[in-house]
Structure 1
């Protein structure tokens, strides 16, 4: 690799957040270089989109690609109680009658290639197989990166802004010890894929289903994908899932026994891969930006996957950071205050989704809540679709608190 361009912005990482921030900046005529250490396609978990991704995908020019893809269309989410009782589906279109209310269950390896190809087509210079060794600083200001190619050749690449979209590798988060774990959501996950598993028909075929374990200690996701594949994973407390247990396969089988509703769905299916595991769950960086640098996507924070918010948060943080960077480049201000001006509002939205996650783990029952507060059905659906960034949603949590003993109301 011989990187001889002189970019305005260097982006570390080619996943959804990196592709988003780089594309939006390049659309405004700025020179953007994206450095991705792997070669796409590559496997990644995080397969279910929620409707609010539509608006960022539209800005990126991705909608036609998505509509012509083989991804399964998703119209709703449904919950199954510990006793096996199914909630009524939350149909997104009922709340927001617009084409944005149909989204997709994606294969990330394919989706991420589509996003990166789209970035290239809109002017981003992409280097795959390029490993960023470090971010260079002059005083407290980021001024570029040190990068090494697969032949072992190293060089420095200077830029006005460095965007860390390195995912859970969290290059700058680890460098500056910014990463703060969330003790309330110390979870882990085990998952695999099945071919020929049961799926509903019609517009329910692509629904995400969240199935509670019989003993309420965790839940399964059930995500229908293309090629007759279903992604099936269990999430529970880290200690429960990984300490004092045997192999991942044995633990997964035990939890499948603990969820008859999901076991019934895969009874005649063929398991297509070994059980995979992740143990690095909810966390957030203590700051999203500094002078000359910004964190986006999982490099800034990761939230429990209960409501499939991962790709939305990647796209949204990429969008908000891009707008702040563009404004900063236009005005000549790439300070922490300018590059991180989006952080407070983004964190408020992220906290609303986090609160809904915590309520679920505390035993929140969607059906019971909607029966008691029917006027909140639209607001709850807004939360589920990822329309998180508006203060009027906070009244939902005020009323959730009225259903609890005062001592247990969440702060």
Structure 2
């Protein structure tokens, strides 16, 4: 099926959370919007745990009642388990902020994304799934529309004042324009699957996202309870460590589980589902967020890492903020790069704190519980960041202490490692063993 019109004010590529959010908000402002998704919906996707601050965009979209009425379990906190199996005290969001907006949900993405897609259609968006964008039409550096192909092979060229690239990690426009930059320090891979009948801890009135290190700290697991007695379990590690020269992903996945007692104990008696999936090299940024007639949102703009469940939140917030710029540009009849990308500087200033927290996590020496004990005054700011309140003025102040604290922890770890090496080599007070 191809579009009903030849020209739209706005064409959105990709019907994930970012694309559906941008499409719905621009259409609500009175503009004609076409939303195109290459896959048939519903379709499976990773990213089931939401940051609570996503609530703000849910409220603006008008989907909170649908979420409250859904089967999605309520997410009430986050917990960390270190490589020795020691569990941190849970970060219960309600203890930090007793409002409803301090909690969120764990979602099945197929159902969640379809809900947002149907909501966009209800806002007046023309929604097409199973339709490919073959190319983005450009005159010089300005986009003028898209060329589409339906399932049967029929094609059409559609004109548009603004093209929104919400194509996810395929990053259609960023790839074409050479804007995508993989983060060399976060070249990670993930393997995941779902289990039925795994352990569920519902203390605190709901479920938690649990982050667990393996015993050698070369990888970590997410553990995300969902509805219908299903739990999402995934492992993340460096590309070279996780996937190169180790056999099939299913074998690697089981090997990594065996290195994490916290996951092993939670999966006792559980049934693995036949849905193993793999992703790799998923942390990247783009050189710029917009150009004349086009703007990037969601994962097409960039993706940091899954460790703090920021992906869907960043996708929806970027689309929420970008939609105001798109509406402004269409009203002014000036879809310039400056107007369409005016949201990005503020957004980037906030996301950099989550990026710094991700970098701390991968340092190998960031102990959430230990930092909280050493600096209890920063627990509210740390919880703010885990909730998604990255614009809180307390967050940058936290890093004034976290950065030197982490440097000291790394230095101490290096000293202990050197001492151990000296001992093995015959240095120190212990004689070498021949």
TM-score (normalised: structure 2): 0.92
**Which residue does the alignment assign to 2:338?**
337
**Which residue does the alignment assign to 1:393?**
395
Cα distance in 2, alignment partners of residues 158 and 391 from structure 1? 43
**Which residue does the alignment assign to 2:316?**
315
Cα distance in 1, alignment partners of residues 206 and 109 from structure 2? 19
SS in 1 for 2:40: coil
| Cα offset, 1:303, TM superposition | 1.4
Distance 1:395 1:334, change over 3 A: same
SS in 1 for 2:246: coil
Instruction: Check whether the contact 1:205–1:224 (CA below 8 A) recurs between aligned residues.
Output: no
**Which residue does the alignment assign to 2:3?**
3
Instruction: Check whether the contact 2:93–2:102 (CA below 8 A) recurs between aligned residues.
Output: yes
Cα distance in 2, alignment partners of residues 300 and 173 from structure 1? 8
Cα distance in 1, alignment partners of residues 187 and 244 from structure 2? 13
| Cα offset, 1:14, TM superposition | 0.7
Cα distance in 1, alignment partners of residues 95 and 302 from structure 2? 31
Per-residue CA shift, 1:266-304, capped at 9, x if unaligned?
011111124321113100111110000001111111111
**Which residue does the alignment assign to 1:154?**
155
Q: Which is greater in Rg?
A: 2
Instruction: Check whether the contact 1:252–1:275 (CA below 8 A) recurs between aligned residues.
Output: no
Moved over 2 A (4+): 1-6, 201-205, 389-392, 404-409
SS in 2 for 1:8: strand
Residue 254 (str. 1) matches residue 291 (str. 2)? no
Equivalence map 1:213-228=2 (5 Å): 213-228=214-229
Equivalence map 1:4-403=2 (5 Å): 4-5=4-5, 6-203=7-204, 205-362=206-363, 363-403=365-405
Cα distance in 2, alignment partners of residues 64 and 404 from structure 1? 42
Cα distance in 2, alignment partners of residues 279 and 184 from structure 1? 13
Distance 1:88 1:66, change over 3 A: same
SS in 2 for 1:127: strand
| Cα offset, 1:153, TM superposition | 1.1
| Cα offset, 1:407, TM superposition | 11
Higher deviation after alignment, 330-339 or 387-396 = 387-396
Distance 1:407 1:306, change over 3 A: closer
SS in 1 for 2:204: helix
Structure 2 gaps of 5+ residues are: 412-434
| Cα offset, 1:21, TM superposition | 0.3
Cα distance in 2, alignment partners of residues 407 and 196 from structure 1? 39
Structure 1 gaps of 5+ residues are: none
SS in 2 for 1:227: coil
